Amino acid sequence: MSPLLAPTRRELIRAAAIHSLARRRLRGRLAEAVCLAAAAAAVAPLIALVAYTVARGAGVLSAGFLVNAPTPPGIPGGGISSAITGSAEVLGLALLLAVPGALLAALFLFERSGRLAGSLRFTADVLAGVPSIIVGIFAYGVLVVPLHQFSTVAAAFALAVLMLPIMVRADEEALRTVALDVWEAGIALGATRGRVARSVVIRGALPGLVTGNLLAVARAAGETAPLLFTVATPLAAMTLLIFSEGTQAFSAAQETAWGTALVLLGFVLVLSVVARGISWRMTRRSA
């Protein structure tokens, strides 16, 4: 090759840079394609579950199905109003039992450090992974056996135990979004720790607190195993009604189970959307 036609050093560097850029773009597109495929694989079961539940349960839904009381087998016109009311009572009482303890524990973890705080955090993490049926047996031994009766209180206690570790970790993370300097500034001004926690820290972390607690309620709303050991009748909660009716051989009972499943799925979806909406609104208002 003639020396006049040989590429210069600058041209060689430019060609190498173009080649390297093209190779990085190809790798980026391949990585993006793999991520999209993984996301589709993760979402596909959820879409299939929702679609199948809607297909099986939409034909049962009606105003009467939601507001009418259950009827004996073979008699048309029954509904699931008692199961809806029972689920609302159990979840409401469980929320009242779990929220104060979770918030106090989160405040302790936010303010303190050391072995005790580490042990409490570790206990919450372990308790969050305990199977729900074990929690149901625990509630059965603590409340049902001594009182000699199944009750809404025992069911709420079981769900509160399930919700508590989730709320503790979620509340702690929400409280840590508030700068520690704000806490120290309130203490330096002479305010008590309780006043600073109530008026400054909790108010600043309120969006995250509400979101975490509502998501914990949404998780507990779908639990069945704890209620098997704590309530007396399947009509006391939607999850138990789904389990009871869905395991029967009668087509009418199975239709009731699918309709109840769709109602429960809609409730969890609405609760999740409400939690996100409240968090967004509070965050925007405090900005």
Q: Give 162-182 pLDDT, tens digit per residue.
A: 999 999 988 888 888 877 777
Look at residue 146 in the predicted model and tell me its pLDDT. 92
Q: SS3 for 214?
A: helix
Report the alpha-carbon angle 119-202-196, nearest 5.
95
Q: What is the mean pLDDT of residues 262-269?
A: 89
Look at residue 283 in the predicted model and tell me its pLDDT. 67
- Per the prediction, the chain carries an average pLDDT of 84
pLDDT band at 1 (very low <50, low <70, confident <90, very high): very low
Closest CA to 267 of 234, 218, 223: 218
d(CA 118, CA 29): 43
Q: What is the mean pLDDT of residues 59-74?
A: 81
Alpha helix segments (H runs only) across the chain: 9-57, 63-67, 81-111, 115-128, 132-139, 145-147, 152-175, 180-188, 193-196, 202-204, 206-221, 225-228, 238-246, 251-286
Closest CA to 69 of 56, 57, 82: 82
pLDDT band at 2 (very low <50, low <70, confident <90, very high): very low
Look at residue 96 in the predicted model and tell me its pLDDT. 92
pLDDT band at 7 (very low <50, low <70, confident <90, very high): low
Q: What is the mean pLDDT of residues 73-100?
A: 86
Q: What is the mean pLDDT of residues 13-22?
A: 75
Q: What is the mean pLDDT of residues 67-80?
A: 76
Q: Is the pLDDT of residue 287 over 70?
A: no
Handedness of CA 41, 46, 49, 51 (dihedral sign): negative
pLDDT band at 272 (very low <50, low <70, confident <90, very high): confident
Say which DSSP state 4 is in: T
Q: What is the mean pLDDT of residues 212-220?
A: 85
Q: Is the pLDDT of residue 3 over 70?
A: no
